Amino acid sequence: MSQPHATPTPPTSPLAHLVFFEPCIPGNSGAAIRLAALTGAQLHLVEPLGFDMSEAKLRRAGLDYHDLAHVAVQPDLDAALAAAGTDRVFAFTAATDVTLPEVEFAAGDVLLFGPEPTGLPQHVLDDPRITSRVRIPMRPGLRSLNLANAATVALYELWRQLDYTGGV
């Protein structure tokens, strides 16, 4: 049986910054809101959004975690990266040979993901602020993971590398 959650102590700084560039599907962003609450990450949603923040699918996917998550809607990528205040930005894409297990993450890193179904556009991937492009391994011939699932895999790998600091 599930136990009700206690209100967590807010972290002094975010575990990481999840940046969803122009997300389209409300359920994925809702799941990311829940992910941010559960891990202590900051979620940045970069406009334009393909949904309204009050949309029922977004609320339903985030369950009752909306008030426990740190979420900011940013007008553009520049604002999102400025708000993150870090120099390390990892862009997740299939267009690279660098795989997730090869990356050494640090607390506060930016994990940048593109919209469903196209992924990050070339002009974002070519941005000089990108530290590295990263690919999540999968079987050949398949396109990609669901956006919320990819963010979960990446964020939990970052947190694992930090020995799940702040987790129980």
Per-residue pLDDT of the chain (168 residues; tens, 9 = 90+): 444 444 555 456 789 999 999 999 988 998 999 899 999 999 999 999 988 877 565 555 444 565 677 899 999 999 999 999 988 999 999 999 999 999 999 999 999 999 988 999 999 999 999 999 999 999 998 888 899 999 999 999 999 999 999 888
Q: What CATH number should be reported for the domain holding residue 119?
A: 3.40.1280.10
Residue ranges at the known binding site for S-adenosyl-L-methionine: 114, 136, 144
Does residue 134 belong to any structural domain of this protein?
yes
Does residue 6 belong to any structural domain of this protein?
no
Q: Taking the model in full, what pTM does it have?
A: 0.88
Does residue 1 belong to any structural domain of this protein?
no
Alpha-helical runs (H) found in the chain: 26-39, 56-62, 77-84, 122-125, 147-161
Does residue 125 belong to any structural domain of this protein?
yes
Residue ranges at the known binding site: 114, 136, 144
Does residue 8 belong to any structural domain of this protein?
no
Secondary structure (3-state) at 138: coil
pLDDT digit string (tens) for 66-102? 567 789 999 999 999 999 998 899 999 999 999 999 9
List phi, psi (to 5°) of 156.
Answer: -70, -30
